[in-house]
Structure 1
Amino acid sequence: MKIQELIESILKGSQNLGTFTLPELLSFAKAGSVNGLAVAKESGKEFYLALIGGEPEGAIYTDEKGERYGDNAVMLIAGHEKFVLSEVKPDLVDAVVMGCRIFEKSRLTTSTNYAIPEFGKKSQGIGLLTLVIQRDREPQNGVRVSIRRDGKVVGSDVTTDNGSVGFRVMHGDYECIVQDRNQQIMSSRIKFNEKNPKIILEL
């Protein structure tokens, strides 16, 4: 059984606690030490968050291209989604979390900050950065790609069949570290903005 099918079967017998934006969901769940599953569905995309004792422990993202789990799923949450939260027994939530555990929980709280405007400051903007890794113009599958800003890793993933990875991040300058299947490492400086959402890197 797919993990999403497991979630849907669990939700059928669960009590609905309401609909929330991500910041509202995290605040509500923490205040009530909620054990539950939250689901957001929009435009062919589905997000699932598993909460234990009010803390987000697991995440899943699905679209027509496939699934992402854990930290990779969290990176694709924009912060404007509406999550329907249902109360679920902790052991059932545990079963879900085993397949999609979140290790970098700060990414979730960071993504909620993007949705909160800072008065007096011009918004930097946020978007989906797509990196395509090629060698001799051929897409490279299975290559580890990380991006850093101010010395901190803000995203890490492995390229798909078309040589691409995607990260939802703030516009700005980043260092991109690429490790190919021969463990060779390449570092590049990249500039991400709305005019430059897709960047091709040649190994």
Structure 2
Amino acid sequence: MKVRQMIDTVLTDSKELGTFGLPEILRVAAGKGFFGLAVARSDDAIGCLAFVRGEPGGAIFSDENGDLFGDKAVILVTRMEQFVLYTVQPDIAEALVMGCRIFDTTRVQQGLTEAIPEIGIKSEGVGRLTVVLVKENEPQKGIRLTIRKDGRILGSDFTDGAGSAGFRLMYGDYECIVQDKSQEIRAFALHFRETGQKILIEL
């Protein structure tokens, strides 16, 4: 079952409490004994925080590039703007968290801090980055690219026939790990500044 279908199935018999930004979601959910989901949607993505006893215990993020769970998902889920909060049965919330558990809960609070914009400073935002891999001017197909930041893996994909792989990321600086067919691994610095940006890597 796809992530969107799974979330929609869970919400079938759930009660909607309202639509909130991330800070409000955390305050509302902080009530003792609360079990529920906070779900954010955009045209091409869905993010979900699962709450157990008032605490965010699990996270899911899904878009056209694939699915992320737990700690890997938090950084993108907390960047989404509006969440619909639902109450769900405790056993359902706990079962969901088992598959997408947040082990480093400080990441949620970090997202809360980053969700409050500073006056005069442009929000980092989230966009789509395309990495193009070439060798001697020839596109490299079927090469695994992994995007990493501060030691954490944020996405992984194989290059297509044009040597391209796409990722949905926050603007910022990243490390791209290239693992070729001979299993040789190389690292390249990426500087992602605007959505739709293409970065060429020459091997």
TM-score normalised by L of structure 1: 0.74
State the one-letter code of the partner of 1:130: L
1:98 lines up with 2:98 in the alignment: yes
- Cα contact 2:16–2:84 (8 A) shared by 1: yes
> CA distance change for structure 1 residues 108 and 155 in 2, over 3 Å: closer, same or farther?
farther
Question: Aligned Cα RMSD in Å?
Answer: 3.2
Q: Which residue of 1 aligns with 2:156?
A: 158
- Cα contact 2:117–2:123 (8 A) shared by 1: no
1:74 lines up with 2:90 in the alignment: no
Per the TM alignment, residue 182 of structure 1 is displaced from its structure 2 partner at its CA by 4.5
The separation in 1 between residues aligned to 2:158 and 2:24, in whole angstroms, is 33
Q: Which residue of 2 aligns with 1:56?
A: 56
> CA distance change for structure 1 residues 93 and 196 in 2, over 3 Å: closer, same or farther?
closer
State the one-letter code of the partner of 2:167: G
Per the TM alignment, residue 92 of structure 1 is displaced from its structure 2 partner at its CA by 0.7
Q: Which sits farther off after the overlay, 95-104 or 46-55?
A: 95-104
- Cα contact 1:133–1:139 (8 A) shared by 2: no
Unaligned runs of 5+ in 1: none
- Cα contact 2:4–2:46 (8 A) shared by 1: no
Q: Which residue of 1 aligns with 2:200?
A: 200
How many residues in Structure 1 have an aligned counterpart in Structure 2? Answer: 196
The separation in 1 between residues aligned to 2:55 and 2:122, in whole angstroms, is 29
TM-score normalised by L of structure 2: 0.74
Secondary structure of the 2:24 match is helix
Q: Which residue of 1 aligns with 2:39?
A: 39
State the one-letter code of the partner of 1:158: S
Per the TM alignment, residue 14 of structure 1 is displaced from its structure 2 partner at its CA by 2.3
State the one-letter code of the partner of 1:169: M
Q: Which residue of 1 aligns with 2:116?
A: 116
Per the TM alignment, residue 187 of structure 1 is displaced from its structure 2 partner at its CA by 2.0
